[in-house]
Structures are given as structure tokens and as C-alpha cells.
Amino acid sequence: MVAEDMNNFPDLVKETRKKLGISQEELARELGVSFATVNRWENEKSAPSKLGKAQFDAFFRKMTKRKKVSLAGEPT
């Protein structure tokens, strides 16, 4: 699980999106969720469902393997 601490999830979503240079809408499309969902996650208006979190975690792992993003403290 990538974002085990749900308190950091909004920051992780935003940081990942910014490192990739994509909009909330583009991230939403990648994850198969709505723009509003990504917006609510980033602004701490709602927490992700188990499915939404699993989709984000899978996307994050894929981007990590492609060396597009990294966990804090790791070089990209």
C-alpha cells in the first residue's frame, strides 16, 4: 500500500500530479474517477474509497516503476 497514512493522502495525490505535470482532470481520467473526486481528495473534502485508493496506489506504483515519481527522499 502506497499511502498508508491517510493524513498524507491529499498531499501525496497533489505532489504526484504536480510531478507528472498533469491536471486533476487528467489524473481523474487515468484513475477512472471523476475530476470532482480528485479535487475532493486533494482538498481534504473526502477520503478515497477502498477502490479509489487501490486505483491510486496502482497508478503510483506504475509511475514509480517508470521513474516518473518517487517516494519522499528517493530520487526521481
Please tell me the distance from the alpha carbon of residue 18 to that of residue 50, in angstroms, as a whole number: 23
Tens-place pLDDT, residues 3-55 = 455 679 999 999 999 999 999 999 999 999 999 999 999 999 999 999 999 99
Domain around 35: 7-65
Number of domains in the chain: 1
Structural domain contains residue 23: yes
Structural domain contains residue 29: yes
Structural domain contains residue 57: yes
pTM: 0.82
What is the domain-level CATH number for residue 53? Answer: 1.10.260.40
Please tell me the distance from the alpha carbon of residue 35 to that of residue 29, in angstroms, as a whole number: 8
Determine the pLDDT at residue 1: 42
Structural domain contains residue 1: no
Structural domain contains residue 58: yes
Structural domain contains residue 2: no
